[in-house]
Amino acid sequence: MANILVVDDEVGIRELLTEILTDEGHDVRAAEDAAAARAARNAGRPDLVLLDIWMPDTDGITLLKEWAAGGQLSMPVIMMSGHGTIDTAVEATRIGAMDFLEKPIGMQKLMAAVSRALERSQKRMSASLSLSAFPRSTPLRDLRRRLEQMASKSRILLLRSGTGGIVELAARTLQPAGKPWHDLAASSEPLSLEILSAAAGGVLYCEELGRLTRLQQKNLLFALDRLERHNLHLIVATSLDAAGLAAHGWDDGAIRRLFEIWLAVPLLTDLRDEIPDIASHLLSQLADSGEAPLRRFATGALNALRQHGWPNGYAELKSAVRSLALAALDEEIAGDDVGNLLFPDASADHSGTVPGISAEVMDLPLREAREVFERLYFEYHLRQEGGNMTRLAEKIGLERTHLYRKLKDLGLRAGRREEDAAP
């Protein structure tokens, strides 16, 4: 049975709900206020939370927002209130609540809501993080809507993105709950009808078409003609244009089919304001799955993650969060922990020189030393901004024409000029 947390400041309601749910075979914990609810949630993710709205210390809506912002809303929540309004119910649902029950709660209505919530929770447990976890983020919510809208009309969808993109996070959004996920790049064996049959109803995925071997290309083409029969979606991604794929051995017919419907997916650096939320959800997911101890990010750590360039995108962020969770000695991951992981050579030494600049450079004439520094400066900020020239110009305060000229003078390669690539 399930582990259920009941949060209500009225002792009579707590005891009644605990008795009913215990009789149904569930393990029930009770909390009288938001503070006790936080402690119970941090002690281990419950399978379901019944959360009262009106409480003396912190109301249920505020606590729901707190869990959502901290990546801890990984379990279904049913809101309860004796003074519910339609606006309150809509607000709770928008934040992430699964259901809303008005007091007094009838036993039949309670058990039906609990049954629905637990069923959905079971389906979500095996799912990886997707855009569905970020209903309050406008860019991620809009991207999710576009993906779902396009996938409803086509079984083939090409995602266009550079190496710093979020293609897996986007593609996972289209994986139906409880259905298979088959990575075409992970197999070196021929794709068979039996494998396609086992994947029925799920997603075939490839993060970069340009990295597939000839056999893997043949596997994709084999699946391409059988998507309808096995109720499959093919979600593939690439940073290459049609000519680039042709150079990697793809034939013209396959390229035309793959490029029929495509969507540009932003780089992680285009989503700086969303990075703390994504990282918090990844951290919470690791704890909930038992892959890492319970951890939380300090504000300084989230700021450091936000400012990093993430040249390898979502995969790099996932790896960083996992490494931070496993290496942290305290429950809170600090900004220094992030700095030591992402910039291991950035700490000052005791030689009396400036970190990153050799003693030989310090002995150069001023004009030559300034050129060395400028090159280091622009290389650093190019990495931080993922090659985005518009953001780089704004950050360092140079007009773009002057910026391109400066980079050329320093012998540096300019970043990408356009936000989205065309096929």
pLDDT one-digit tens code per residue, 26-39: 999 999 999 999 98
Half-sphere exposure of residue 331, counting CA atoms within 13 Å on the CB side?
Answer: 3
Which position has the higher pLDDT, 391 or 289?
A: 391
CATH number belonging to domain 133-264: 3.40.50.300
- Other C-beta atoms closer than 10 Å to the C-beta of 341 total 19
Over range 99-103, report the average pLDDT.
90
Complete DSSP assignment for 39-93: HHHHHS--SEEEEES--SSS-HHHHHHHHHHTT---S-EEEEESS--HHHHHHHH
Residues of the chain with CATH 1.10.8.60: 268-342
Q: What is the pLDDT of residue 417?
A: 47
232 is written with which tokens? 């499959």
Please name the fold of domain 268-342: Helicase, Ruva Protein; domain 3 (1.10.8)
On whether the CB atoms of residues 311 and 165 are closer than 8 A, the answer is no
pLDDT tens across 336-393, in order? Answer: 899 888 876 544 443 444 445 555 556 667 777 777 788 778 877 887 777 788 888 8
Span 235-251, average pLDDT: 94
What is residue 349's predicted lDDT score, i.e. its pLDDT?
44
Tell me, what's the pLDDT at 47?
Answer: 86
Residue 163's pLDDT is 83
| pLDDT in the model for residue 369 | 73
pLDDT of residue 83 exceeding 60? yes
What is the structure's pLDDT at 22? 93
CATH 3.40.50.300 occupies which residues in the chain? Answer: 133-264
pLDDT surpasses 80 at 9: yes
Contact yes or no for 33/20 (Cβ under 8 A): no
pLDDT at 404: 81
Average the pLDDT over each of 125-129, 320-324, 355-359 and give the range with the smallest value: 355-359
Alpha helices in 270-312 (DSSP H): 275-288, 299-307
For the chain, give the percent of residues with pLDDT over 70: 89
Average pLDDT, integer, range 102-113:
91
- pLDDT the model gives residue 228: 95
pLDDT at 140 > cutoff 70: yes
Q: Predicted confidence band at 17 (pLDDT cuts at 50, 70, 90)?
A: very high
3-125: CATH architecture: 3-Layer(aba) Sandwich (3.40)
Six token digits for residue 360: 């030989």
Top mean pLDDT of 3-7, 69-73, 116-120, 340-344 is at 3-7
Residue 266 has pLDDT above 70, yes or no: yes
User: What whole-number distance in Å separates Cα of residue 289 and Cα of residue 158?
Assistant: 31
Counting beta carbons within 10 angstroms of the beta carbon of residue 31, is it exposed (0 to 12), middle (13 to 18) or buried (19 or more)? buried
Average pLDDT value for residue range 109-118:
91
Q: Any bridge partners for residue 205, and if so which?
A: 183, 235
**396 or 69: which leads in pLDDT:** 396
Query: What is the pLDDT at residue 418?
Result: 44
Q: Boundaries of CATH 3.40.50.2300 in the chain?
A: 3-125
The segment with the largest mean pLDDT, out of 61-65, 216-220, 284-288, is 216-220
User: Which of 3-12, 31-40, 283-292, 325-334 has the lowest average pLDDT?
Assistant: 283-292
Q: DSSP strand E in 194-242: where?
A: 203-206, 233-238
The pLDDT value given to residue 194: 86
Residue ranges with strand state E in 153-247: 156-160, 181-183, 203-206, 233-238
The pLDDT mean for the chain works out to 85
CB atoms within 10 A of CB 409: 11
Asked if residue 411 has pLDDT above 80, the reply is no
Whether this prediction's pTM lies above 0.85 is answered by: no
Question: Span 158-171, mean pLDDT?
Answer: 93
CA distance 385 to 198: 42
pLDDT at 353: 43
Stretch 399-418: mean pLDDT, rounded?
Answer: 71
SS3 290: coil
166 pLDDT band, cuts 50/70/90, is: very high
pLDDT band, residue 139 (cuts 50/70/90): very high
Q: Greater confidence, 398 or 422?
A: 398
Q: What is the mean pLDDT of residues 315-324?
A: 93
pLDDT > 50? residue 291 = yes
